[in-house]
């Protein structure tokens, strides 16, 4: 069974631009979560989707948004990029509604210049 | 490889010795805990989990201990191997809610040959 896939793996954007990252969960998984990882802040929760509904959101500004499609694939969007948005963005999926292990993808490395 | 954290605490052990990685979690309401391993350039990899109704759980070469009284979690790795070198994160979640993992800051494990 294929793991969580994320595209693109690397991305360079300029301040003020917007970006869309994509995540395909493991087949059969309905929960998709997004995390931001930086050397200074570590791993921080962005949001979680289950059956196309956002169930939980972390403490990030409204420039960060996401959505989930009927096939469980998910996208996250960051608008008006700032230098501080440079990070590794990780997607994780799980088969259940709660309480079970999440499997992470390799991440998308976003660099904002 | 990508830098997970610039100032992570580091544990250096001799190959073949046992390793113990500690973690203090923050939320007394958390009832599900996970250990992840992250190698350079990769997403976190699930190692082992434990629910709050247990105080010990064993896997292959790994044991997780949970002390709810002092909100402390530890990961023991038996007969540490060079392939165990990585950054290790503990994460906590409340099973009453959807996925919203709160990650610790991580510990870098270096295995000396």
Q: Distance from first CA to last CA of chain A, Å, rounded?
A: 37
CA A108 to chain centre: 9
Contact B4 A97 (CB under 8 A): no
- What is the pLDDT at residue A6? 98
Which residue in B26, B30, B33 sits closest to B74, CA to CA? B33
What are the pLDDT digits (tens) for B81-100?
999 999 999 999 876 666 68
Residues sharing a CB contact under 8 Å with residue B83, sequence separation 6 or more, in sequence order: none
Position of tokens 């700032």?
A: A82
Q: What is the mean pLDDT of chain B?
A: 89
The residue to which tokens 């169930």 are assigned: A55
Structure tokens at A17: 């631009």
Contact A107 B36 (CB under 8 A): no
- For residue A107, the distance in angstroms to the closest alpha carbon of chain B comes to 6
8 Å CB contact of B43 and A33: no
> Which residues in chain A are contacts of B5 at CB distance < 8 A?
39, 42
In this structure, chain B runs to a length of 113
Return averaged pLDDT per consecutive 10 residues of chain A, 113 residues in all. 92 98 95 93 92 92 97 97 97 80 94 97
CB B111 within 8 A of CB B84: yes
Nearest Cα residue in chain A from B90 = A43
């Amino acid at each position: 069974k294929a793991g969580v896939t994320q595209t693109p793996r690397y991305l360079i954007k300029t301040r003020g631009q917007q970006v869309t990252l994509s995540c395909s969960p493991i087949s059969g998984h309905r929960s998709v979560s997004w995390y931001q990882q930086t050397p200074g802040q570590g791993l921080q929760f962005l949001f979680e989707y289950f059956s196309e509904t956002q169930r939980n959101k972390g403490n990030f500004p409204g420039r960060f948004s996401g959505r989930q499609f009927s096939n469980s694939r998910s996208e996250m969007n960051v608008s008006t990029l700032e230098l501080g948005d440079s990070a590794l963005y990780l997607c994780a999926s799980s088969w259940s509604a709660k309480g079970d292990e999440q499997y992470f993808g390799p991440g998308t490395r976003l660099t904002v210049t | 490889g990508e830098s997970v954290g610039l100032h992570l605490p580091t544990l250096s052990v001799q190959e073949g010795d046992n390793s113990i990685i500690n973690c203090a979690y923050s939320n007394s309401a958390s009832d599900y805990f996970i250990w992840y391993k992250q190698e350079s350039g990769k997403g976190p990899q699930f190692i082992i989990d434990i629910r709050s109704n247990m105080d010990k759980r064993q896997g292959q070469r790994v044991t997780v201990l949970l002390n709810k009284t002092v909100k402390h979690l530890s990961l023991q790795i038996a007969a540490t191997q060079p392939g165990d070198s990585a950054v290790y994160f503990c994460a906590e979640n409340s099973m009453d809610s959807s996925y919203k993992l709160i990650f610790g800051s991580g510990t870098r494990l270096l295995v000396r040959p």
